[in-house]
Amino acid sequence: MMTALLIFWPLLISLVIFIFQPSNARWYALAAAVLEFVISLIVLYTFNASGKLTYAWPWISSLGISFSLQVDGISMLLILLTTGLIPFIILASFNSKEKPAGLYALIMLMQSALVGVFTAADGFLFYVFWELALIPIYFICLLWGDEGRGRITFKFFVYTLAGSLVMLVALLYLYLQTPGNHSFDMQAMYEAGRALSPEKQSLVFWGLFLAFAIKIPMFPFHTWQPDTYTVAPMEGTMLLSGIMLKMGFYGILRLVIPMVPAGVSEWGFTVIVLAVVSVLYGSIIAINQKDFKRLVAYASIAHVGLIAAGLLTLQAVGIQGALIQMISHGILAFALFYICELITIRTGTRTITSLGGLRSNAPVLATVFMIVLLGTVALPFTSGFVGEFLLINALFKFNNILGALAGLTIILGAVYMLRAFQFMMLGTNSAATASVNDLSNLDKAVLYPIVVLVFLIGVHPDPLLKISEAATADIIQIFSTYTANLNP
């Protein structure tokens, strides 16, 4: 029941804010988001890492559709990321002028849809929540984005919708392969998918994977991302980078690998190569960026490419590394985009070379920025190090050359992040930075917990690894058993 509450509570608050349009909507949203996080902690407390929490309610029985939810270790980590970040996203919005009630209603609606994606145990329900998550982020970017948002947001919408429709076709095909009166139950679809011939599994693989590759995004399906991240409002960029792109990874873990293991076995190497290309491409383009927000957008392509590559090695160390890195990437991307917003508000520019000397007037900001930067470039004892170490380790075990190429992300990441820090924080003041204020109490309330998490996860990641250990083992067991039977 608590699992269902995680979905319906933010949905209820969203409707309340939409209908009554309270003048202090941000406080309602913040209080509701904090309570949502408390509910997720209760779910965590009752969660048995070696088992699952389930909730099922008949919905459209004649079509084999039910409102079926399930929480395992993988779901639990992403629920914690979602419910933990959204209060900070709402709090971060307090830094600028008062925002309309509609923005907070859309954020709460998106939270409901995101948790729905991460808990759905029915294929049709998964698709409903997947599409529902697109609606609020589309309007957030369209209504509150920067100049040129209409064209860019439309491109983002078309890309993701096209991928979703291909995924729907694949899900419907699997549904028709289930026995009897057919069912969208995830377990029934797993069995139907694994019963297909390797050739048909390959077709379903690409039908599902295309939607997830666009959402991540991976090269060459990434072209919507840099422009969308750049023109989206701060809240939209945080939602997209911090949480929403993790839907793609979750889809690979929850649908692709268990449903079509033969397709994964056939095309996994190709996808890993594309992911490593994403790492190199995103890093090299980030080095040449002049707009700091755009630099962070391309850096995100590089980091998620590494996650995808490690994930598809189908090793325990790779999957768990991917999950840890999803958490780390979420909190670090949030902090980087917030710092970008702070600098833009205070100086009126995001151009890296137009900034300089910020450290002299804002030493606390410079210190926090350096800590977040070090987490981003995977310095030991930071959250970024744990995930990247496990991912690169898995890639080296899979293929030495791909591991070495993917490992360049650490060197290239240091190049573009330290270069940005040097131009923005060091040197003499420019006209834009001559009278910049340091972090306010609100800014500290947003950023200090992130700093604590960067070090806490980096020093003691074991609790997160234990949560996902059993679910990771289940996925590997399914894949190993199938491939062993396929090639006795």
186 part of a folded domain: no
40 part of a folded domain: no
CA distance 262 to 256: 10
**Would you give the distance in Å from CA 458 to the centre of its chain?**
19
390 part of a folded domain: yes
Tell me: the pLDDT tens digits for 80-101?
999 999 999 999 998 776 789 9
CA distance 419 to 445: 27
- Three-class secondary structure assignment of 376-441: HCCCCCCHHHHHHHHHHHHHHHHCHHHHHHHHHHHHHHHHHHHHHHHHHHCCCCCCCCCCCCCCCH
pLDDT at position 174 is 94
The count of domains in the chain is: 1
Q: Give the three-state DSSP class for 71.
A: strand
- Residue 487 reports pLDDT greater than 70: no
245 part of a folded domain: no
- Listed in sequence order, the residues at least 6 apart from 264 whose beta carbon sits closer than 8 Å to its beta carbon are 205, 256, 257, 312, 314, 479
Q: Give the three-state DSSP class for 147.
A: coil
Q: Which tokens in the block code for residue 41?
A: 């902690």
460 part of a folded domain: yes
- Residue 71 reports pLDDT greater than 80: yes
Question: Which residues span the domain enclosing 408?
Answer: 262-488
- Residue 237 reports pLDDT greater than 60: yes
- Residue 488 reports pLDDT greater than 60: no
359 part of a folded domain: yes
CA distance 77 to 466: 11
Q: Which range is most confident: 103-117, 180-194, 471-485? A: 103-117
Tell me: the pLDDT tens digits for 135-166?
999 999 999 988 888 889 899 898 899 999 99
Instruction: Decide: 132 and 54 in contact? Cβ < 8 Å.
Output: no
Tell me: the pLDDT tens digits for 33-46?
999 999 999 999 88
Tell me: the pLDDT tens digits for 258-317?
999 999 999 999 999 999 999 999 999 999 899 999 999 999 999 999 999 999 999 999
355 part of a folded domain: yes
Tell me: the pLDDT tens digits for 328-343?
999 999 999 999 999 9
H-helix or E-strand spanning residue 140:
helix 123-144
430 part of a folded domain: yes
Nearest to 236 by CA among 325, 97, 104, 78: 104
* This model's pTM is above 0.75: yes
pLDDT at position 426 is 87
H helix runs in 225-260, sequence order: 225-231, 234-239, 246-251, 257-259
Tell me: the pLDDT tens digits for 352-407?
888 888 888 889 999 999 999 999 998 999 999 999 999 999 999 999 999 999 98
- Where does residue 197 rank: exposed (0-12), middle (13-18), buried (19+ CB within 10 A)? exposed
Confidence of residue 50 (pLDDT cuts 50, 70, 90): low
Q: Which tokens in the block code for residue 173?
A: 């095909």
